[in-house]
Amino acid sequence: MALGFNQKLEQQQEPAFFVRGPSPFARLVFFSALSLALIATDSRLQYLSNIRQHLVAVLHPLQVIANAPSQLYHDVTDYFSTQSRLVNENKQLRQQALEHSVALQQLNTLALENNHLRDLLKTNQALAETSVLGEVMYVGRDLFRKKIIVNRGTQHQIIAGQAVIDATGVIGQITRVFPYSSEVTLITDKSLAIPVQIERNGLRAIAFGRGRDNTLDIPYLPANVDIKAGDKLVTSGIDGVYPAGLAVATVTKITATPDSAYARITCTPTGGIENHRHVLIVSMPIRDEDPSLEAEIDPTTPAASTKKEGNKTNKKTAAKPTIKPTKPNAAE
């Protein structure tokens, strides 16, 4: 019985491992025809455009997931490169900002200096051709004296005694001259006195520097003198050094005590004693003299020959002497 069962099992056919479908050629023909039909339908009726858009939308997450590794690599690389570029750019911008701030400070200084030079040029025009522009080099070494050094000297036709002014008023006087520099004693120095007059009433006086607090004193004036706080002092021009009418100082304080017959008058200089860098060195005022004719006898005239011969010839027959006018000498 067992032998009969085994024979039946042997007679049965073994099942195929893969079920074979249509042949490859048949499948090629089928899918080619389907593709041609879809292409023709899409080109003529455009029925598949919406389907294609929906398929793209459905497949977009898969596309993002597939591109995620490469996109992550590019993002990380771009992050570090961008950070490095931003750090370098930040350093460059900070350096440029620092340079621009320094340039801006210099620009402000140049603008102020330009305005001051314009004011000086206006003053120079008012003084005609009698002033020389100078620049303050440094302050005098003696701390107890009010002196500055300018870069103009004998090589620039500067002489001792010339007044030094700026755009707002008198600041001092040339006291020592060197070949390429000059020493200027400021009007606030104790050793310097300047003849002034009150602009309001024309009262003349002499102002002396106090030395310690950059102010001026007007001593030896009676307590009832006609001077008020706020009066302006200008140069009187009677000393032959300072041109008349230049601003000197402003009266700031008047003190009168019962035990003294004189008033104590304190003035503040109008000019920039310790402010400006450029100054004008003004030539001494030139006094105009009345032109006069000085008779000079020409030795070639008959009158000269007759005078040398002891006036032997007759004066009636002698020719009149030739008179030559001479130019007036300007008093320096």
Domain ranges in the chain are 39-126, 131-282
CB-based contact 280:164 (threshold 8 Å): yes
Fold of 131-282: Thrombin, subunit H (2.40.10)
| pTM of model > 0.75 | no
CA distances from 166 to 169, 293, 316 (A): 6, 40, 65
CB-based contact 328:291 (threshold 8 Å): yes
pLDDT tens over the chain, length 332 residues:
555 555 555 555 555 555 567 788 888 999 999 888 888 877 777 777 677 677 777 877 887 888 888 888 878 887 777 777 888 888 888 888 877 876 776 677 677 778 888 787 776 555 554 788 898 888 877 777 889 999 999 888 999 999 999 888 899 999 999 988 899 999 999 989 999 999 888 899 999 998 878 899 998 888 888 899 999 999 988 888 888 888 999 999 998 888 888 888 999 999 888 877 889 998 876 654 444 433 343 444 443 343 444 444 444 444 444 434 444 343 33
CB-based contact 209:246 (threshold 8 Å): no
Q: How far apart (Å, rounded) are the C-alpha atoms in residues 5 and 9?
A: 6
